[in-house]
Every structure is written in C-alpha cells, then in structure tokens.
Amino acid sequence: MSDPVLSLSGVSLSLQGNAGPVSILHGITLDVHRGETLGLVGPSGSGKSSLLMVMGGLEQATGGHVSALGHDLTGMDEDALARLRRDHFGIVFQSFHLIPTMTALENVATPLELAGKPDARGRAAEELAAMGLAHRAGHYPSQLSGGEQQRVALARAAAPRPDIVLADEPTGNLDSTNGAAVIDLLFDLRDRHGATLVLVTHAPDLAARCDRVITLDDGRMSRAAA
Amino acid sequence: MSKLRLAFRLARRELRGGLQGFRVFLGCVILGVAAIAAVGTVRESIATGLAREGAALLGGDAEIELTYRFASDEERAWMRSTATAVSEVVDFRSMAVTPGGERGLTQVKAVDAAYPLIGRVRLAPDMPLHSALAGTDGQPGAVMHPALSERLDLEPGDSFRLGTQDFRLMATLRAEPDNATAGFGLGPRTIVATPALDGSGLLAPGTLFSSKYRLDLPAGADLATTKEQAEQTFETGGMRWRDARNGAPGVAEFVDRLGAFLVLVGLSGLAVGGVGISAALRAWLAGKTRIIATLRTLGADQRTIFLTYFIQVGVVALGGLAAGLALGVGLPVALAPLITARLPVPAVFAPYALPMAEAALYSLLAVLIFTFWPLSRTQEIRAATLFRDGSAPARALPRWPWLGVTGALLAALVAVAALFSGNLPLTLWTAGGIAGALILLAIAAQVVRVLARAMRPRTRRPPLGWALAAIGGPGSTAAPVVLSLGLGLSVLAAVGQIEGNLRSAIARDLPTRAPSYFFVDIQKAQMPAFRDRLENDPAVTRLQTAPMLRGIITRINGRPAAEVAGEHWVLSGDRGISYAGAVPERTTITAGDWWPADYTGAPQVSFAAGEAAEMGLELGDEITVNILGRDITATLTSLREVDFSTAGMGFIMVMNDAALAAAPHSFIATVYADPDAEAAILTDISGQMPNVTAIRVKDAIEQVSGLLRGLAAATAWGASATLLTGLLVLIGAAAADQAARTHEAAILKTLGATRGQILRALAIRAGLLGAAAGGVALLAGITGGWAVSRFVMETGFAVIWPSALAIVVGGAGLSLLAGLAFAWGPLRARPARVLRGRE
C-alpha cells in the first residue's frame, strides 16, 4: 500500500466551552491512503466534523500528531496551514459556504487566483460548465438554489485539482435528487483526478460507496469497516 | 385586546432582550440632538446674558446716539426732564502718539463726570475712573486698553498725545461695562474726560464723531413710551435710540444669526445621523425577519406588526433624545466657566426650554423621516418567508402612502427650520444643499458599486478582487459608508473652500489694490498742505480725496425709509456722503445724468447702482438724508458703479456741491504708496496735522480677517459634529458588517488565503470607499464653495487644493481607520468554528 496522504496518531481535541473544556476527540489514530475514499459516520455530536476539520488544519489538534502529504500540521501556524490547503486540499461543507459577495464564477476562481494559476477565470468557467452551471456563472449565491450552490462549492473544491477532498455532510441540506447528483459528482472527482476523498455523512447509501468507513462514537473510533 | 395594547405587549417582550443592535441608532440620535441642543443652549445663554445685562451694556436704561453733533439745548432739556441722570459720551477715532513718535490708532471715548451710570470701569492699577481721568502734574489723565499701551510701549505714568493735547496714562483698562455696544472698532479703547479735549483740536466742526446720551430712567418708566417721546423731540435730529430691552442689538443679532446658521449646519449632522439610523434600523429589522414571519404565522396583522416595531423604535429614540438633550445642554452648562472666559459678551448658562424644544423637534422629525421607510418594510414580510431563505422582500421604494408621509415630514422639518432660523432662503438653500449632497452621494455609492463590479474581472490580485467584490456585491456597505462619511466631509470641504477663498481674497488680492492709508478728519484749511506733502512724494502712486459728511437716510419718497427698502444695510446707520461738482475721476455712470458742474438748483444725489437696485430705488426718487440734524431731500438723478471690494474710497451717496458745501465737514483721503514710504508719510502727516486720523488699511484687513477666522472656526466646529456623526455611522456600518467579513475571511482561509492577504483586502476596501466618499465630498465641497463664494460672498473662486486633497486623504484615512479597527475579528477567526457556527 502507498504511503498515507493523511496520518493521524493519538489525536485528541478539546475546546473551551462556557462550562469549561469539552473533549471532542480522544486518541484517534488513522491513516488515509492516496486515492482512497473514507467515510466518517456516527451519531450527531460524535466528533465526525471535528475530525474532518483537524485533517484539513481548520482546527488544531490539542494532542497527538497530524500529518498531510508529509507535512506535520501540528506545529504549523495559521498562514502555513492556509497555504497547505491552497495547494493540496478541496473542502466542501454542508452549508456550501460560498462567498455571498462573489458570483459563482468568482467563487470558483478564487482558489485558482490564490494559487497564482494563469487564466483562473477561464478554468473556473470550465469547471462550472462541467458541473452543468455555465448559465449560472454570473449569479450571486443568493440567486442560486441549494443544489446549485453545492455544485458551485464542488466546482470550487475541484478547480485547483486537490490531492485531498474533504466533504462535511455535502448532501445534508439537499433533497434526494440533488443529493444524489452531488455525490455522483464528488465520486467522479475522485475517479477523474485520483483525489483522496474523506466525507462525513449520515446517509448509509453514501457511506456504502466508500472504500472504507469509520464510525465515531463520543469522539472515539468505535469501528472500522472496509 | 386592542391592536395598540397588543403591540405594546409584544414590543415590551422584545425589548426585554436589551438594546443589542440599537447602539449605532442610539448614538446617532444622541449626537444629532446634542449638537443642536448645544448650539441652541449657547445661543440662548448669550441672549439671556445680553438681555439681563442690557442696561449695563448700554450704559443706562436707554441711549440716544447722535452722529457728528452734540445734543441741542432743547434736546438736553428733554433728557434732563425725562431721566433721573444723564451721561454724555463722545466716541471717535484718533491717533495716540508717544513722545518717541510711535503712533497707534485708538477708539477714543470721552466721558463726563456721570459716566458710567451703571457698572464700574475696572483699572489696573485699581483706582476710581475719575481719579484716573483727573490726571496729575497738570496733565489730564487717560486710561488705555493694554493692547494699545503695550504696542506703544506705554506704562502708567507715561505721557502721550491725542491731537494737540498731552495726556498722562494713569492706568490700563481691565473692564469696560458698556463695551458690547462699542461695536466693531478699528482701534483699541482710550478713555479721557470730555473737558480735556477742549484744547486738542479733535472735535472741530466736521470731525467724525458720535455723541451718546445715556439715560437713567425713573423706576417703572415705560421704555416704549419714552422712545416715542424721544422720537418726537429729536424728530429731525437723525437720532438713534437703544434701550435696555436690547442693550446690544448688533451683538444680539449677530449671535442669533450665527446660532441659526450653526443649527442649520447641525441639521446636516442630523441628516448623516439619519443615514445611520436608517442603516442601523434596516440591519436590526433584517435580524427580526423570522420573528415577524412567525408572528404573521400566528395571526398578527400588518398594523400590529408595524406598531410593535414602531413602539420599540420610538422608545429607544425617546431615550436617545433625552440622553442627547442632557448631553447637549449639560456640556455647555458644565463648561460654562471656560466658555464664559472666552466670550466677549455676557452669558448666563442654564438649561433653556426653547433650544431643548428646538433640538427635540428637529430630532423627532428626523427620526420619523428616517425610520418610517425601513419600518414600512415590516408590513411586507409574509409568513411564507419562514419557509424560504428568511430574507425580507426587496422593494426599491416603499408604498406611496409612506412616500407621502415621508414627504410631509420633510416639509415639516424644513418649515420648522425656517421658523427657528428666521431665514427662509438660507433654510431652503441648506435643505436643498443637504438633499442635493445626499442624492449625489447615493448616486456616487451606486456608481462605485457598478465600477467595482466592472473592474472585478480585470483584477489579477486576489486581495483587490475580494475588496471589489465586497464593494460591488450583495450586502455591500458602500451606500451607508459613502453617504455618512461623504456628507460630513462635504460640509467640511465646503467650509474649507469658502474660508480659503475669503482669506485669499483678503490676504492676496485686496492689498495689491487697496490703499495704504485712509486719512480722515482733514480740515478744509489743511487740504493744501496735505496735498502738497503727498502729491510731491514719488513714492505715492495715487492720492484720492473727497469731502465727507455723514448722514442717515430717513425717508424715501416721503415715506419712512425702512418701509420702502426694508432692513437694507445702507439704512442701518449713518453713511458717508460726499459732494462734487463735475463727475469725479474714475466714476462710471450706469444710469441717468450727472448734474452740470455749476449746478445750484434743488439738491440732486447720485446713488451706488448695486445698492439702489437692492433697495428698489429708481431715478427720480426723492431721498431724504439727515445730516447734522438737518433733513436734506435730494432727487436721485444718476446711478454709479461703486466697488467696495477694493477697500478704496466708495460713497453710497454723492450730492451736488451746492447742497452740502456750506455744511461743516472735513475731508477724507486714500493714499496709495510704496510700503517702504508708509512710515514716513504717517510721521509727517500726523506730525503736521495732529487732529488727522490715519487708518492703516492692512490693520483693518487683519481685523476683518480675524473676525472671519473666528466665524470659519465656529462653522468648522459645527461641521465637525457632522463628521463625528458620520464617523459613528461608519463605525456602525463596519460593526454591522463584521459578521459577514468574518464569515468571508473564514471561507478564504479555508481556500488558502493568508491573514496578510485578508488584511490587505479589508484595507483596500475601506480605503477605496473612503476615497470615493472623499472624492464626492471634494466635488460637492468645491461646488458648494463656488456657489457661496460666487453668489453670497461675491468674491472670486479658486480651488484651494491643499484643503481639498486633505478631505480626500482624510476620508480615506477615517474609513481605513474604522475598517481596520474591525479587522481583528476576521483576522483571528478560526475557520472551523466560524463555518460550523453557520451550519
């Protein structure tokens, strides 16, 4: 098996709540390999999304080690983490998180512009067209439906050809038809570009399409299934 | 339950949640009310001070002023029979000359033994005035304002000369009870006893002086009746009456007008505050959309919803109003000792009902105008909103009844402003200016957004692109930022341009055309020697002389002058009048014909064309002028061009020589000379002719400049209140926008943006918006400055670039400051927490 693109060792995460520190993750040790699709499942509040955020450097682990593509995330400052995401990650959220002041095209072009890629807008337009949204390129997020917004978010995540795609309940806010379309696009992304895909989901049928599924319960890995 | 009671109950429940979201709203109301209340309180305090000290300022219960002459025996007899005490004061300008030859222009007040009837003249060293005026060692005494004694290097005990009379300086003046009525004097005060002037040659016939008779009236005397009696006694005497009801009419009027003007400037602050109020209310109501939709689901009708939120806004606005009044009234009252020390007039600082009512009324109307529009949108929120995206329906304009109500409220605000300021044209100009600037700024904000959207695709640098997207995209704060900052900056820019142009008109243009000296009180017999000295001096480039008398226009075509020409400045006091046979050189006749050089018929007068037009005078009108107590009626036969802007010689009226030549009079001369020769001319003329008074034009210009600087400073303070409100609105907009910017920053960080890039984007966005506001303010300020300079001040206009550019830079700087002050939130945002918080 190839070297892991993501490697977590004894990772724990505590956050400061109003009533004191709250432990979210406990001793997570896990490797994710290139091209693999990993599903994270478990009840609400089990720590799935937090684990995904730790993997993307959006949340700093309070214990253990996290490395991505050979980079140790634990000691990185915020800007170094941002640059790592820029060069290697694509992230998709349940609530899409498009920038409301930017058009669909500008949203997709932003990571390409950040990476200094030539013809960012042209490539963004191609990516939107691939998602079936060429006619919506000049629309602002508030002018798009939920399904369309999530497809724009997918195009944005895919545009820089990331090594790793992290998706946090990408179909959580969509109806079944739109949800299925988004999942197809997400897996197509893995198939076309060989990206590693980690996704959090509540949907059993979506989890079933993954190479491997890890169940979390109260911040601990309770079961891993291939 | 009635809708109102239900609305009250619902409003109370919502308000229990605190004033979150109302801070900027409250701040704008408080600042707007406070600025207007503060100006009103200071104005009312001075008015009260002037009224309370009226008699002391006047120097008696009433004053009768005569120009150029003393009272006749008959008039004196009436005054003695009417008043319990009478004091005679003579006021004129002269030159104080030291033994070393130093000369200074002084406003001499010659007093009798009864002076002052009210109050006390305080001297340093402390001594009774009449002991000081008695003098010592056979020399009559004098007291002098320290400004003059210091300039002439005179100490108590030193001698100086007025005309041909030597005086001993006994003390310096610390306080003069009747100073406010002295008006705008060109020289510091010297007080002497009238009898001491007998040998000075200063009060010879034809000399320019005024005599003032202060009357101490019996207790309970009716001032109005006494005034009527005086007018009958002095019917043809060119008398001016003042009494303690308004002891310093000039000062009172000035303070009143300045106050009214500053309140109008304050209204621009209220307009900026209104923009903030409106923006804050929109943001607050946007957060209430789901609650309103829920209430609609539960059966609340549109009226109940409107009342619920109107009551909440009303309660908060009334709270702000009370706080604003407390601040606006409390601050001047608390700072009373400081302000009083700097005021040249008495003031009684206290809370006054009228300015409080004025400020409250203005603010209530402004709050209603700016809240009805956003509040009207609550009626458009439907229950179905709950099942959509939760955002309110977007409608460009409210329904027509609301537009009608807003229009009516605006008209009421303008009417109230006109009523309080007493100046409808100025109010309409101000209202038009504010409305014009707001419309211009609103258009500019839209243009900025369109430009930002157009430029966005052309940008290669991500931070600039994000900034342009934030400016041009949905939820942009361009409108409130450009409007609030822009209006404050526009007022400041206009003030800067007007003041700069006035200053340059005075400081740069005038002295190149203005004479070096005015010489007044030259006796006819002295004219040959006077001409001889100056006409043979190669350093003198031009000498202009004319006979001069002073008179008051009393009637026009047989009717009281004020009835015909209103309150025109030409009628406000005595004016210089000259006479001539042939047309004087450099005279341009614009209408009618000049009388023949040897004309000896009925009196004819030539009038300044501009002033004649303003007063509605026409050729053939009969003008009655009281000169030295005698009425002379002359026919208006020609109009002349008179340019007062050059500070040269300009007479409103010139009569044919036969009409006036026999009356006692003196001559006036303007001397244009090289600056290097000025000192020698002054020394020679005042040495040979001690009674002649020289007025250095540069000194006079400096005094006028000082007055204008003071006015400009007062206006700038008023405009600063507007800018402060603008800054508050700016901060409010930045604060309201912070959540959106933090969300945006979290997404950008997720996509790989560094904090430096995000900070640059925030700075570029704030700087661009500020520069846009500054740019529009520059345009509005220059336009306003040009209009006022051209049509009101009637000076030339050139853009004062340093002041103009400072406005743009200042605007960008202020916006940048406000933007960066709120950059901390987006910069420190942890993406995971921000984004998950929005899941």
Distance from CA of A205 to the nearest CA of B (A): 23
Q: Would you tell me which residues 723-762 of chain B have a C-beta closer than 8 angstroms to some C-beta of chain A?
A: 740, 743-744, 746-757
Q: Does B455 touch chain A (CB under 8 A)?
A: no
Give the pLDDT confidence score for residue B324 in this predicted structure: 93
Residue of B nearest to A58 (CA): B832
Flag if A156 and B751 touch (Cβ within 8 Å). Answer: yes
Q: Which of B389, B752, B830 sits opposite A111 (nearest CB)?
A: B752
Exposure letters B744-761 (e unless 16+ CB within 10 A, then b): bbbbbbbbbbbbebbbbb
Given phi > 0 = left and psi -120 to 50 = alpha, else beta, which region is B304?
A: alpha
Percent of chain B with pLDDT over 70: 92
Note the Cα B45 to chain centre separation in Å.
17
Contact A93 B835 (CB under 8 A): yes
Confidence at residue B426, expressed as pLDDT on a 0 to 100 scale: 77
Contacts of A82 in chain B (CB under 8 A): 749, 752-755
ipTM: 0.83
Give the integer Cα–Cα distance in Å for B386 and B570: 71
- Output the pLDDT for position A107: 92
Residue with tokens 């999304």: A49
CB contact under 8 A, B839 and A50: no
Placement of tokens 């005679």 in the chain: B88
Name the residue in chain A with its Cα closest to that of B837.
A95
DSSP state of B574: -
DSSP H or E stretch at residue A22: strand A20-33
Put simply, the chain A residues between 132 and 191 with a CB less than 8 A from any chain B CB are 140, 142, 156
Contacts of A140 in chain B (CB under 8 A): 473-474
More confident: A81 or B574:
A81
Chain A neighbours among B 291-310 (CB < 8 Å)? none
- Residue B144: its pLDDT value, please? 92
C-alpha separations of B544 from A11, B441, B701 in Å: 100, 52, 20
Name the burial class of residue B336, with classes exposed (0-12), middle (13-18) and buried (19+) by CB atoms within 10 angstroms of its CB. middle
Name, in order, each residue with C-beta under 8 angstroms of B435's C-beta and a sequence gap of 6 or more.
none
Report DSSP state, residue A161. Answer: -
* Contact at CB, B748 and A98, closer than 8 angstroms: no
- Which residues of A, range 28-87, sit inside 8 Å of B by Cβ? 49-50, 53, 56, 58-59, 78-79, 82-87
- Rounded average pLDDT over B371-389: 71
Q: Which of B483, B432, B257 is CA-nearest to residue B787?
A: B432
- Give chain B positions within 8 Å (CB) of A97: 743, 746-747, 750, 835, 838
H or E stretch including B135? none
Asked whether the beta carbons of B133 and B192 are under 8 A apart, the reply is yes
Query: Cβ separation of A85 and B748 shorter than 8 Å?
Result: no
SS3 label, residue A174? coil
Interatomic CA distance for residues B836 and A219, integer angstroms: 17
Bridging pattern class, strands A37-41 and A212-217? parallel
B-chain residues within 8 Å CB-CB of A114? 462, 748, 751-753, 757
CA end-to-end distance (rounded Å), chain A: 15
Q: Flag whether pLDDT at A37 surpasses 70.
A: yes
Question: What amino acid occupies position B21?
Answer: G
Burial B503-532 (b: 16+ CB within 10 A, else e): bbbbeeebeeebbbbbbbbbbeebeeebee
A22 forms beta bridges with A15
Beta carbons within 10 angstroms of residue B355's beta carbon: 27
The 10s digit of each residue's pLDDT in B349-358 is 899 998 899 8
Are B462 and A110 an interchain contact pair (Cβ–Cβ within 8 Å)? yes
Question: Smallest CA–CA separation between A111 and chain B, in Å?
Answer: 6
> Measured at the alpha carbon of residue A113, what is the angle toward residues A112 and A114, in degrees to the nearest 5?
90
CB-based contact, B465 to chain A, within 8 Å: yes
Task: Among A49, A78, A102, select the one facing B469 at the smallest CB separation.
Answer: A102
Q: For residue A113, give the nearest of B462, B474, B830 by CB distance.
A: B462
B463/B481 Cα distance (integer angstroms): 20
Q: Which chain A residues have a beta carbon less than 8 Å from that of B830?
A: 58-59
Per-residue model confidence (pLDDT) at position B73: 87
CB contacts of A91 in chain B (<8 Å) are 750
Tell me the per-residue pLDDT of A39-87, one tens digit each, with 9 for 90 and over: 999 998 899 999 999 999 888 899 999 999 999 998 888 889 889 999 9
- Quickly state the pLDDT bin for B513 (edges 50, 70, 90): low
Mean per-residue pLDDT, B201-219: 81
Q: In Å, how far from its chain's centre is CA B397?
A: 38
B182 pLDDT band, cuts 50/70/90, is very low
| Cβ contacts of B674 within 8 Å, gap of 6 or more | B539, B541
Q: Decide if A121 and B744 are in contact by the 8 Å CB cutoff.
A: no
Q: Which residues of A touch B838 (CB under 8 A)?
A: 95, 97
Q: When comparing pLDDT for B667 and B648, which is higher?
A: B667
Residue of chain A whose alpha carbon sits nearest to that of B472: A101
Distance from C-alpha of B494 to C-alpha of B783, rounded to nearest angstrom: 8
Residue B203: both structure tokens together: 């009060």
Contact A100 B475 (CB under 8 A): yes
Rounded Cα–Cα distance for residues A62 and A14 (Å): 6
Residues B347, B46 contacting (CB under 8 angstroms): yes
Residue B380: HSE in the Cβ half-sphere, 13 Å Cα cutoff: 17
SS3 B421: helix
The answer to whether the CB atoms of A101 and B457 lie below 8 A apart is no
- Chain A CB contacts of B748 under 8 Å are 99, 110, 114
Q: What is the C-alpha separation between B329 and B336, in angstroms, rounded?
A: 11
Task: Report residue B128's pLDDT band, with 50, 70 and 90 as the boundaries.
Answer: very high
Nearest one of B490, B551, B480, B542 to B517, comparing CA atoms: B542
B705 Cβ neighbours under 8 A, 6+ residues apart: B503, B506, B507
Contact B485, B813 (CB under 8 A): no
Name the residue in chain A with its Cα closest to that of B749.
Answer: A82
Interface contacts (A, B; CB < 8 Å): 100
Residues B186 and B209: their CA atoms lie apart, in Å, by: 14
Residues B656-676, mean pLDDT to the nearest whole number: 85
pTM of the model: 0.67
Confidence of residue B246 (pLDDT cuts 50, 70, 90): low
Low-confidence winner among A144-148, A154-158, B76-80, B282-286 (lowest mean pLDDT): B282-286
Cis peptide before B146 (omega within 30 of 0): no
A205 touches chain B (CB under 8 A): no
CA distances B89 to B108, B113, B267, Å, are 10, 10, 44
Optimal mutation site among B471, B741, B751, interface A, most CBs of chain A within 10 A = B751
Convert chain A into a string of H (helix), E (strand) and C (coil).
CCCEEEEEEEEEEEEEECCEEEEEEEEEEEEEECCCEEEEECCCCCCHHHHHHHHCCCCCCCEEEEEECCEECCCCCHHHHHHHHHHHEEEECCCCCCCCCCCHHHHHHHHHHHCCCCCHHHHHHHHHHHCCCHHHCCCCHHHCCHHHHHHHHHHHHHCCCCCEEEEECCCCCCCHHHHHHHHHHHHHHHHHHCCEEEEECCCHHHHHCCCEEEEEECCEEEEEEC
Higher-pLDDT residue of B184, B676: B676
User: How many angstroms away from the CA of B396 is the closest CA of chain A?
Assistant: 18
**Residue B444: closest CA among B763, B773, B146:** B773
Q: How many Å lie between the alpha carbon of B274 and the closest alpha carbon of chain A?
A: 26
**B540-555, pLDDT tens digit by residue?**
888 888 898 888 888 8
Question: Contact B832/A82, CB-based, under 8 Å?
Answer: no
Helix (H, G, I), strand (E, B) or coil at B64: strand
Tell me whether strands B103-111 and B189-193 are parallel, antiparallel or unpaired: parallel
Cβ proximity of A59 and A13 under 8 Å = yes
Q: How many other C-beta atoms can be found within 10 angstroms of the C-beta atom of residue B452?
A: 24
- B746-797 pLDDT, tens digit per residue, is 999 999 999 999 999 999 999 998 888 888 888 888 888 888 777 766 667 8
Q: Give B211's DSSP letter.
A: E
- Which pLDDT score is estimated for A72? 93
Chain B residues near residue A87 by CB distance under 8 angstroms: 752
Nearest CA in chain A to B758: A79
Least confident of B16-20, B179-183, B430-434, B798-802: B179-183
Preceding amide of B125 cis, omega within 30: yes
What beta strand segments (E) does B217-310 contain? 240-243
pLDDT in tens, A99-128: 888 899 999 999 898 888 888 899 999 999
Q: Which residues in B lie closer than 8 A to residue A202 (C-beta atoms)?
A: none
B764/B762 Cα distance (integer angstroms): 6
Q: What is the rounded distance in angstroms from the CA atom of residue B16 to the CA atom of residue B290?
A: 18
The packing angle between helices B424-455 and B478-504, to 10°, is 130
- Inter-chain residue contact B757 with A58, CB threshold 8 Å: no
What six digits make up the tokens of A41? 């499942």
Residues of B in Cβ contact (< 8 Å) with A119: none
Chain B residues lying within 8 Å of A25, measured CB to CB: none
Q: Which residues of B46-73 are buried (b: 16+ CB within 10 A; e: fewer)?
A: bbbbbbebbbbbbbbbbbbbbbbbbbee
Residue B839's pLDDT band, with cuts at 50, 70 and 90, is low
Let me know: does A161 contact A136? Beta carbons within 8 Å.
no
Other Cβ atoms closer than 10 A to B592: 19
B710, exposed or middle or buried, with CB in 10 Å at 0-12, 13-18, 19+?
Answer: exposed
Q: Do B469 and A101 touch (CB under 8 A)?
A: yes
Q: What sign results for the dihedral spanned by CA atoms B530, B531, B537, B538?
A: positive
Tallying the residues shown for chain B, one arrives at 839
* Residue the block writes with tokens 């009079």: B665
Q: For position B237, what pLDDT does the model report?
A: 63
CA–CA dist B490, B498 (Å, integer)? 12
Residue type for B527, please? M
Q: Which of A58, A86, A139 is the best residue to mutate to test the B interface, defined by the most B CB atoms within 10 Å of its own CB?
A: A58
- CB atoms near residue B221 (< 10 Å): 16
Q: Do B752 and A114 touch (CB under 8 A)?
A: yes
Cβ distance B714 to B262 under 8 Å? yes
Residue of B nearest to A88 (CA): B752
Write the residue in B456, B743, B754 that is nearest to A83 by C-beta: B754
**Structural contact between residues B370 and B274, judged by C-beta atoms closer than 8 angstroms:** yes
Q: What is the dihedral of CA B434, B440, B443, B444, to 10 degrees?
A: -120
Which residues on adjacent β-strands are paired with residue B165? B162
Please tell me the distance in Å from B5's CA to the nearest CA on chain A: 38
Q: Residue B378 gets which letter from DSSP?
A: G
Residue with the larger pLDDT of the pair B687 and A72: A72
Residues in chain A: 226
B474, B476, B833 ranked by CB distance to A142: nearest: B474
- Record: contact A58-B456, CB cut-off 8 A: no
State the pLDDT at residue A48.
92
Interface test with B, best of A94, A96, A102 (most B CBs within 10 A): A102
